[in-house]
Structure 1
Amino acid sequence: MILGCIADDFTGASDAASFLVKGGMRTVLCTGIPADDAVLFCEKADAVVIALKTRTEEPGKAVAESLHAVQWLKEHGAGYFYIKYCSTFDSTEKGNIGPVCDAVLDYLKEPFSLLCPSLPVNGRTVRGGTLYVNGTPLAESHMRFHPLNPMLQSDISQLMKPQSRYNCINLSREQLNKMQANWDREIETYTAGQKCFYFVPDYETDEDGEEIIRCFGHIQCLTGGSGILEIWAKHLLKGKVKPDEALTAETAGEALLIAGSCSQATLRQIARFKETGGVSLKIDPGAVRCGQQTLEGIKEFLELHKGTPVLFYSSETPEYLESIRKTHLQEYSSIVEKTMSDIAVIATQKQYTRFVVAGGETSGAVIKALGYDVFWIGPSISPGVPVMIPCKNPSVRIILKSGNFGEEDFFEKALFLTDGSERK
């Protein structure tokens, strides 16, 4: 193992893993600390990504789980480490990104690291320390409506200030070039009088990412979104043999689609799927709670449409989420996760082999219910969204999509690319 990565939710982990694969690394993704029977697969990989479920946990618990994962990766041979969080720095004043990064740097005895949430291919960029979503400052973007972590600040240093014990230093392209020209002297000027700190480099293009890795690719620990990982993987693999096994996206069998995300991208994808004739059923947590919508009825709907991909969704508009925020949001979220997980289990029992899930919390719940804990990472459906192949059941294909990712035709594309039947 060359590189070990921890991610704060499951779709974030698959996002990170997809870019490591693009960078040439044979990559395994594990749900939590790998079990003994998963270690064999990890030993065959260049990179291991551990998916945690810490994004919304209180800092103390998130730190403990993250440190445990980093320690496991180090004990099993990782020489480099990546702390993966959302490319929109999905956090709040009492969030855990700062505490986790601080704790890992302290454990590794690293005097500094980077905060690199950028993912230019998906419109996430940093300039002058400000995080942008498709050219709009984060706090003015649709992320301000996030149901769990509404984003009300765009400046990364200000986002970190209430969370981290260490300072953040913005790094322009000019300063980065100066640092490359005289590393020792420039680093000394920043480290003087500081136990630890973070650089926040300008990162608007892939070329910026290459310059960042050219300067910082040798340090032990980096943090951020998935954008920098492809470039770092290529840098670390220089002179090493790249994997020669091609993992295919296709498999035979029926497909199930599940959407729990309420992002604008997912709402558009659901609308497109329905408009083009896709079969769908909306899961209403209020109706589930009072018994008007039952698992038995859902099972009958699935059976009625056997042979056709079916989309089950619970996604709602920002206005609706705001209307229930103080009364039912947490309860309804739990109901949705449980119901979607039950649907996935039913589909597995009916020999479904293709699963497409939109939304981080929903994805984590579905994967836990299915019982898979270690995956090879195959080709990507769209940037940051790979096909995952359970190591212990290689006939299955699973695609987990962060809510904001993917084009409008994402569901159709996922179905087409994973369809290994003769009818394709």
Structure 2
Amino acid sequence: MIGVVADDITGANDIGIMFAKSNYTVDVYSSIQSEDKQLNGTDVLILDTNSRFDEAKTAYQKVFQATKELHKRGVTQFFNKTCSVFRGNIGAEFDAMLDALDEDFAIVVLGFPKNGRKTIQGIHYVHGQPLEDSEFRHDPVHPMTCSNLVDILKSQTNRKVTNIKEGIIKQGSEILREIIYALKKDYQYVIMDVTDQADLKTIANAVYDFKILAGSSALAEELPAVIGKKPEQTLPKNVPEYHQGKGLFCAAGSLMPQTFEQIEYMRARGASVFELDSLCLLDKERFTSSKTQLLNVMVTEINQGKNVILHSTNDPLKVKETKQKAFQQGISNREISQLVSSTLAEMTKAVLQQTGQKRFVIAGGDTSAAVCHRLNISGIRVWKEIQPGLPSCISLKNDPMLFVLKSGSFGHRDFIKQAFLHLKEQLLEPGGVVR
């Protein structure tokens, strides 16, 4: 069994679909407290530590414990799934996995060409821009001001870090494997250049049997071709019905431009789009009076067959004003972000309860985690890919839900449209078979 430790829920799904596409049965849990029988037949077990926004010490402890739990359950190959632009506690989490397994070497692959991430000469690019010049430079919690991946990782670990550049990778997997073994004598982390999908195939053929792999999910797409695909995927017996005649709901808490573009795309095509005013959240009395009205309008529209999107404030000036007002009230950027996510989660639960619809879309990692927590979803089965790294999934509980959790910076302009179509089309045939 392959074991993955992921630092957020959308990242867990992101890597999960890379294996699920090859018919691996992939389960994601927020903890390992589940009964053993629920894990029977699982090919890839993923634990979401939700540690990206933690302090480094806390993140280390979470990953250390999660790795130990995976090892106890017979996992033989481990993957430390991080953000595809190295946001978060990269060094602490990589070190934690090595320490937990008493190992001292890991392959690190961050490039994800299908989602615009490339590593060239050790410099990471996002849609052609160096990381430090991309939208991630302005991340409210982890602003990325450096593009050199070796330098970023070196700043967070005492272990030695190096980079294998594209020229070596282009020479093929055999030569690459020889170089890696030579570097193992002096380095603990080897970061690979990735310029295209062919590079990922070469890397997969060179490192498929290494005990610890780390980074983005992209490498995981190529691994099954080397270690073997599965003939079929096991799906949960119960898939929630789609209430035809009613619309679908999407809650978006991401500030990324990709999500903004996806929302505007839907607005132009007739979706009902509502804003959760972040300034209003800081005035409890004002928000309490407006929340009920907003909720009633959204529920009415969904029941009338309209698709509804509720998004957090994404206007840069208003976001800045919100941060300033929050600061005056003693509220940090992280705390206001959590307030937005928890409010979106609360309203998502209310919408689903009042419409009876059990299929939905969430955009943003923090918001996705908050929604899963509010809906008491602790285990999910990764199902079908909609766009690269963006799958649907089914909750593993007696009253299941079918939903999509989207990383804020992933997806094409039409992603929400495609996600809604996917959720509407996945119906049960007679006998309970999913088509």
Corresponding residue number in structure 1 for 2:393: 388
1:191 maps to: 184
Deviation, structure 1 residue 318: 4.2
Q: 1:217 aligned to 2:182?
A: no
Aligned equivalent of 2:2: 3
Change (3 A) 1:7 1:219: same
Please give the per-residue CA displacement for 1:230-273, whole angstroms capped at 9, x wherever unaligned. Answer: 112332336xx432546899841252110000000001111111
Provide the residue aligned with 1:266 in structure 2. 259
CA distance in 2, matches of 1:317, 1:293: 19
Task: Give me the CA root mean square deviation.
Answer: 2.3
Identify the residue that residue 146 of structure 2 maps to in structure 1.
153
Greater CA deviation, 320-329 or 333-342? Answer: 320-329
Contact kept? 1:119, 1:125, Cα under 8 Å: yes
Deviation per CA, 1:105-137, whole angstroms, max 9, x where unpaired? 132233321221111101101111111111211
Question: C-alpha displacement at 1:46, in angstroms?
Answer: 0.5
Q: Please point out which of 374, 382, 401 is paired with 1:377.
A: 382
Unpaired segments ≥5 residues, structure 2: 327-332, 428-435
Q: What's the offset of the Cα at 1:384?
A: 0.9
Measure, in 2, the Cα distance between the counterparts of 1:205 and 1:236: 21
The residue number in structure 1 matching 2:307 is 309
Deviates more, 1:163-172 or 1:317-326: 317-326
- Corresponding position: 1:19 with 2:18: yes
Q: Indicate whether 1:243 and 2:248 are aligned.
A: no
8 A Cα contact 1:24 1:237, kept in partner? no
Residue 79 (1) aligns with residue 72 (2): no
Aligned length: 410
- Opposite residue 13 of structure 1, the aligned amino acid is A
Q: 1:169 to 1:421 in 2, by over 3 A?
A: closer
TM-score (norm. length: structure 1): 0.90
Range 328-337 or range 314-323, more displaced: 314-323
Cα distance between partner residues in 1 of 2:78 and 2:52: 18
Give the aligned residue type for 2:14: D
Deviates more, 1:74-83 or 1:386-395: 386-395
1:348 alignment partner in structure 2: 352
Shift in Å, 1:381: 1.5
Is 2:65 the partner of 1:68? yes
- SS of the residue corresponding to residue 218 of structure 2 reads coil
Alignment of 1:280 with 2:273, yes or no, is yes
Q: Is the 8 A contact 1:337 1:361 kept in 2?
A: yes
Q: Distance in 2 between matches of 1:167 and 1:206?
A: 27
Rounded Cα–Cα distance in structure 1 between residues aligned with 2:101 and 2:112: 26
Tell me the amino acid that sits aligned with residue 252 of structure 1.
Answer: Y
Separation in 2, partners of 1:399, 1:356: 5
TM-aligned CA distance change 1:340 to 1:188, over 3 Å: closer
Q: How does 1:56-135 map to 2 (within 5 A)?
A: 56-91=53-88, 96-135=89-128
Q: Residues 189 and 414 (structure 1 numbering): CA distance in 2 closer, same or farther, change over 3 Å?
A: closer
Asked if structure 2 preserves the Cα contact closer than 8 Å seen for 1:118 and 1:204, the reply is: yes
- Percent sequence identity is 25
Q: Contact 2:338 / 2:366 at 8 angstroms: preserved in 1?
A: no
Q: How many Å separate the matches in 1 of 2:233 and 2:143?
A: 43
> What is aligned with 1:46?
43
1:412 corresponds in structure 2 to 417
Q: Could you tell me how far 1:391 is from its partner in structure 2?
A: 1.9
**Partner AA of 2:348 in structure 1:** A
Cα contact 1:167–1:198 (8 A) shared by 2: yes
- 1:252 lines up with 2:257 in the alignment: no
Q: In the alignment, is the contact (CA less than 8 A) between 1:261 and 1:315 conserved in 2?
A: no
**What's the CA shift for 1:197?**
1.4
In structure 2, do the counterparts of structure 1 residues 183 and 415 end up closer, same or farther at CA, with 3 Å as the change threshold?
Answer: closer
Distance (Å, rounded) in 2 between the aligned partners of 1:202 and 1:129: 6
CA distance in 2, matches of 1:330, 1:4: 30
Deviation per CA, 1:336-382: give whole Å up to 9, x if none: 12211111221232212111000011110011000011111111121
Distance 2:87 2:130 in 1: 14
Shift of 1:182: 8.5
Tell me the CA shift for residue 285 of structure 1: 2.5
Question: Does residue 34 of structure 1 match 2:27?
Answer: no
